[in-house]
Structure 1
Amino acid sequence: MPRTRKARLRVAKADPWSVMKVSFMLSIALGVCTIVAAAVLWMVMDAMGVFSTVGGTIAEATGSNESNGFDLQAFLSLPNVLIFTSVIAVIDVVLATALATLGAFIYNLSAGFVGGVELTLAEDE
């Protein structure tokens, strides 16, 4: 029967520089996934004819005799959607990196008062 060794360890400090690097890389990956997902979703909705159907209804509802109404298809074109998604992704990268780094500083301050998070690690032999 294998014997299991256990060790109780305490996370006393999180290095803010390493937290910033890891959170930056993870938020970059999340930003790329967001942009790709928005493009795929737009293409699927365009292939289904959602924009033309809804856009026709909106143009009919907002148009009058002298104007054609609001053009949803021009407003929600793929380049416009991707530019908006890219701006949101960049803001997300900056905010996620800053908040994770700030979280590491706050953890280090609170760990100084209460000792940090205790972990029990087990090793199978």
Structure 2
Amino acid sequence: MTRHDPASVPVPVVPSRVGDSAQCVALGQIIDRVADKWAVMTIGNLSTGSLRFNELMRRIPGVSHRMLTLTLRGLQRDGIVDRTAFATVPPRVDYALTELGKSLIEPLGALARWAESKQDQVLAARANYDTRMNP
């Protein structure tokens, strides 16, 4: 009989308490929201402080006005982003991360660092796969 070192046991990515379908659906919806590329870019840009809508548009390459609007609304709904409207002429609206949103900076930063450090490997794997599948 062999003993297993608890430190060598891999930690599951999905929490074990996610057993029933309602919990799976809820977890999936939250992951869909925060892992969406536009949400990641929006959270990343707001991680340094509040920004106006047009500032976000300029900082996020390729995002459409409609997609940024939908992304911000979804992040607001989930309590990740706060929207503050100022009664000025012209009207001014700022977006900022809430405390819940700020708690995403570290894990999303880790994911971004991983993607950056593994980019060459992923691109090589894609090219290899494409060559094998499309001779």
TM-score normalised over the length of structure 2: 0.26
Which structure has more RCO (C-alpha within 8 Å, separation ≥ 6)?
A: 1
Larger Rg: 1 or 2? 1
